[in-house]
Chains A and B, each alone.
Chain A
């Protein structure tokens, strides 16, 4: 079974803090993704990576950065957390032409 894990299920941070969210997949997938999900807005793509050290901006990259130093690991960084970044963050991975995505359990981040 494909397994995508995320470092935390729940996280509480203060405004201005630097926040690291980590994602690890065990299926040797080339592609990895970070989304945020908010009520009524659905899944919105923040960044994705199609290879080690490669990254592309998604639809809402502002305020975020990413790192992919190893194939299995994709990190999302909030340089200076703000209250409007309170959300559910979901990581996913995929491979192949059809792009079926496998999601982690999500991290619910609260920024106070």
Chain B
């Protein structure tokens, strides 16, 4: 069955450093992959989408890579700030229909002063 794996352990980094989060998936080659941010007690918020034919996508301090051979996406936050502290979820459409996403369990990022 299709599976998404994100590191369940929290990632603690110092302010100003680059945070790198990993999303691995199995048994499927999705056409695109999405990243969301979730703050405690809130719903997830969409950040970025990357298509299978895009190796890299950037938005301000965010960068996402997508390696369909490794079945892996990396999510980078450069010059991290305490306000970046949140849980980051990756999501894939395993159905291919564009209607239904499967979410990873997320990785909690803590940026310390």
Which A37-64 residues sit within 8 Å CB-CB of chain B? 40-43, 45, 48, 50, 58
Contact check, A99 vs B100: say whether CB atoms are below 8 A apart: yes
Taking the nearest CB of chain A, how far is it from the CB of B21, in angstroms?
15
Taking chain A's interface residues, is the majority helix, strand, or loop, or is none over half, making it mixed?
strand
Tell me if A98 is interfacial: C-beta within 8 Å of chain B.
yes
Taking the nearest CB of chain B, how far is it from the CB of A45, in angstroms?
7
Q: Closest A-chain residue to B102, C-beta based?
A: A45
| A96 cross-chain contacts in B, Cβ below 8 A | 98
Taking the nearest CB of chain B, how far is it from the CB of A104, in angstroms?
6
Tell me if A90 is interfacial: C-beta within 8 Å of chain B.
yes
**Which of A33, A42, A94, A102: most chain B CB closer than 10 A?**
A42
In Å, the complex CA distance between A43 and B42 comes to 13
- 8 Å CB contact of A106 from B8, B34, B41: B41
Number of inter-chain CB pairs below 8 Å:
53
Which A77-111 residues sit within 8 Å CB-CB of chain B? 88, 90, 92, 94, 96-106, 108
Contact check, B93 vs A99: say whether CB atoms are below 8 A apart: yes
In Å, the complex CA distance between A25 and B67 comes to 34
| B105 cross-chain contacts in A, Cβ below 8 A | 40-42
In Å, the complex CA distance between A96 and B91 comes to 16
Tell me if A31 is interfacial: C-beta within 8 Å of chain B.
yes
In Å, the complex CA distance between A42 and B91 comes to 11
Contacts A43-B89, A88-B41, A101-B46 supplied; 15 other A-B pairs, CB < 8 Å: A40-B105, A41-B105, A42-B103, A43-B103, A48-B99, A92-B43, A94-B99, A96-B98, A99-B101, A100-B34, A100-B46, A104-B43, A106-B41, A106-B42, A108-B41
A-B contacts, 10 of them at CB < 8 A, read A42-B105, A43-B44, A45-B102, A48-B99, A48-B100, A58-B100, A88-B41, A92-B43, A98-B98, A103-B45
